[in-house]
Amino acid sequence: MTGSLEGRVAIVTGAGRGIGRAIAEALAAQGASVVVADVGASIAGDGADPTPAREIASAIGKKAVAFTESVASPGAARLLVDTAVKTFGGLDIVVNNAAILRDAFVFRADPRDWDAVIRNNLSAPFYLINAASAVMREQGKAGRGGKDGYEWGRIVNIVSSAGLYGNLGQAAYASAKAGLFGLTRVAAMDLQRAAITVNAVAPFARTRVTDVIQPANEAQKTYKERALKIGAHHVANLVTALCAPAAKGITGQLLGVRGREVFLFGQPRPVDRIEVGEPAALADALVATFGGKFTDLTTDLEAFNTEPLV
């Protein structure tokens, strides 16, 4: 794929560290110009430090620029898109990776923490998709990307297995990530005619999130030990592949990556049905017909607590 993204312009949020940094570097290695967007906050979303974003942009070189404002507002998202267009002449790739974490059991959670996580992990990606897709659609109409139509448009949302399975104490984080997959599906539908693909990737890799896990039992301890072995470059490889020309037909999909393993997740669809007779008997009918097919309460840590391929 060497040079396969030459001429493309990408925005990667949360690109100052971990997975975001690996993605920004991988896209740049394939020829893309990159806006390294990272406010430099803590994993809880506190504080700000422009240093990480500036250092990564400097390391990448002339094809990168740092953006160090929080994108958790419509105005900042538009400014980020404008920065990409004014600096590099367009925008073709958006990777929504930035996220914060404020865990608590639902009966102890502070509603203000809920609001902050939803704003940063779900609303901010919407703001950026909203601003970026408008520009990308107009670029397609103007002929950017060649005479065969606009095939450069790519949006990749970094979700989480916590949003698919659930995990103890992660109501806000899991809800935001589940919502981000819902946004992925709708955006894929809305942008299909414009030939802009939208996909979601659930990563398994060492990040600040795995670093702060405090194991409550041996299973969680083992999960953390395994997660710490997995490099972020594997996630970057998948995201870069989704941005390549050969991936133009992949959209609306939910993929996972754990080391050298790539998963295609199924999406919620009916697995059975019953015809309702008397409402009073409905509960009994649910148990009798669906009981063996109910989804259990396995957490994502339990579901993927096996040795990764690294």
Which amino acids are annotated catalytic? 160, 173, 177
For residues 159 and 216, the answer to whether their CB atoms sit within 8 Å is no
* Closest to 38 (Cα-Cα) out of 98, 88, 113, 108: 98
The 8-class DSSP code of residue 157 comes to E
CB neighbours of residue 90 within 10 Å: 18
CB 207 within 8 A of CB 230: no
* Degrees, nearest 5: CA angle 131-35-81: 15
Cα–Cα distance for residue pair 210/304, rounded to 1 Å = 14
Closest listed residue to residue 22, CA positions, set 250, 230, 247: 230
How far apart CA 20 and CA 36 sit, in angstroms, is 9
In degrees rounded to 5, what are phi and psi of residue 10?
-125, 150
Q: Which of 120, 78, 116 is nearest to 99 (CA)?
A: 120
Which H/E stretch holds residue 64?
strand 64-67
Cα–Cα distance between 124 and 101 in angstroms, integer? 14
Query: What does R_g of the chain's alpha carbons equal in angstroms?
Result: 20
Give 138-142's long-range contacts (Cβ < 8 A, gap of 24+): 139/90, 139/91, 139/92, 140/194, 140/195, 140/196
